[in-house]
Amino acid sequence: MIPGLIPMTQRVVKMPKPGLSRFQSESVFRSLVEAVQDYAIFVLDPKGNIMTWNPGAERIKGYSAEEIIGKHFSIFYLPEDLATNKPARELETVAETGMLEDESWRLRKDGTAFWASVLITRLLDDKGKIIGFGKITRDLTERRRYSQELELRIAERERTNAELEAFSYSVSHDLRAPLRAIEGFSQALREEYSHLFDETANDYLQQVIDASTRMNRLVQDLLNYSRLSRTELAVDKVDLNSALTSAMKELTTQERKFVSISRHQKMLVMAHEQTLIQILGNLISNGLKFHAPEQQPQVTVDIRPGARPKTVRVLITDRGIGIAPEHQHRIFQVFERLHGIEDFPGTGIGLAIVKRGMERMDGTYGLESSPGSGSAFWIELQAAEESK
Ligand code: ADP
């Protein structure tokens, strides 16, 4: 033990009161420090000269105990840190506050730098006088490299995604005009010339019209989806009932007959109105669409308190084909569909709009479903107070 120092055991490792003598606890502590390989643990005198050295310190910093004991700890700092007096400043802070944590570059004996996580603590004698500093250093170079690599990859992926989205946005946008021409001229053909065509020609024409209608839907959905991340979504008080009424207007009169909404009194939520209408519309029309051909669709919409405090949940339940648990996560990704368009028409973007829209409005979403017993999709939004 260094003369005058309080054994670190009393500061760091809590020994059971009865049992170990001061001598024993010191030797237990010493063996503990000696066994540590991943941490440099050493003691500085009040001026910052190194007084002890453990194998971890030797492994991380490259100096043997004989080489380093007695030297000033500023030897580990980069020239730019020495220029700003960082070592002395750190000791001053620890002397005042008791402890300091830092993550920054330090030097090894061979001059290479490593990313160090450093903890310095103040050591006091019985009267509260500073008699030195304890220093624990860890080499986090590898960890830092991994996390930087990870950040880089995430940034790259985000950039690629953004580029892809920008690309799909501009393609969709540019497709609209030629698509309108195909739709318009094929409609004109049907209206004005179909009497001149034989059955096969009329069938081909109908296929052109159907395909362009599908493509129009896809382009519209893609534009809506990418708009959700491109534009600012101002969230404001929206009356759920009127949003539901607007969503219902998008349905045909026939479809509306299969939807029942349990109305409540005025219910305000924080949302972007157009996005909310679109989300409700997508969920309701999915409920109407995904049922066995021999079955009649049936969708109910309920409004109730959400699971989180001060939230409102809208629950859209159908009696349709249901969704197996293993697919429930992926259907919220763009273009993920569980069926071919010959069974159920669609673009595979509806639920991706639900996901992104809810995320952008700080809401949550989810579903409960099992094959054959229908699905219950829900969204949850912050409730809003009526302004007085
Ligand atoms: P789309 O309806 O255009 O196919 P969505 O993104 O809205 O695209 O839905 C993705 C897929 O999730 C659907 O193709 C379907 O397989 C499944 N799905 C969505 N809603 C339901 C539902 N209510 N019942 C059964 N399956 C559904």
pLDDT at position 162 = 83
pLDDT at position 165 = 80
Phi-psi region of 17 (alpha: psi -120 to 50; beta: other; left: phi over 0): alpha
- CA-proximal residue: ligand 1, atom 7 (nearest): 350
With the most atoms of ligand 1 within 8 angstroms of its CB, the residue from 214, 337, 378 to mutate is 337
CB 330 near ligand 1, within 6 Å: no
CB 63 near ligand 1, within 6 Å: no
117 touches 126 (CB < 8 A):
no
CB 283 near ligand 1, within 6 Å: no
Q: Which atom of ligand 1 is nearest to the CA of 334?
A: 6
With the most atoms of ligand 1 within 8 angstroms of its CB, the residue from 284, 286, 338 to mutate is 286
CB 7 near ligand 1, within 6 Å: no
How far does the centroid of ligand 1 lie from the alpha carbon of residue 350, in Å?
Answer: 7
118 touches 135 (CB < 8 A):
yes
- Cα R_g (the chain), whole angstroms: 35
How far does the centroid of ligand 1 lie from the alpha carbon of residue 49, in Å?
Answer: 69
pLDDT at position 10 = 41
Q: Which among 4, 3, 1 is positioned nearest to 127, based on CA atoms? A: 4
CB 349 near ligand 1, within 6 Å: yes
CB 337 near ligand 1, within 6 Å: yes
| pLDDT tens, the chain, 388 aa long | 444 444 444 444 444 455 667 677 777 777 777 777 889 999 999 999 999 999 999 999 999 999 999 999 999 999 999 999 999 999 999 999 999 999 999 999 999 999 999 999 999 999 999 999 999 999 999 999 999 999 999 999 888 888 888 888 888 888 888 999 999 999 999 999 999 999 999 999 999 998 998 888 888 888 888 888 777 889 999 999 999 999 999 899 999 999 999 876 778 999 999 999 999 999 999 999 999 999 999 999 999 999 889 999 999 999 999 999 999 999 999 899 998 888 998 999 999 999 999 999 999 999 999 999 999 999 999 999 876 5
Q: Which atom of ligand 1 is nearest to the CA of 348?
A: 8
Residues 6 or more apart whose Cβ sits within 8 Å of residue 372: 321, 322
pLDDT at position 171 = 84
CB 284 near ligand 1, within 6 Å: no
How far does the centroid of ligand 1 lie from the alpha carbon of residue 236, in Å?
Answer: 29
pLDDT at position 11 = 44
Give me the DSSP letters along 214-231: HHHHHHHHHHHHHHHHHS
Query: How is residue 56 written in tokens?
Result: 């971890």
With the most atoms of ligand 1 within 8 angstroms of its CB, the residue from 259, 351, 356, 370 to mutate is 351
Taking CA atoms, 321 is separated from 153, 286, 316, 330, in Å, by: 39, 11, 14, 17
Distance between CA atoms of 67 and 50, rounded to whole angstroms?
11
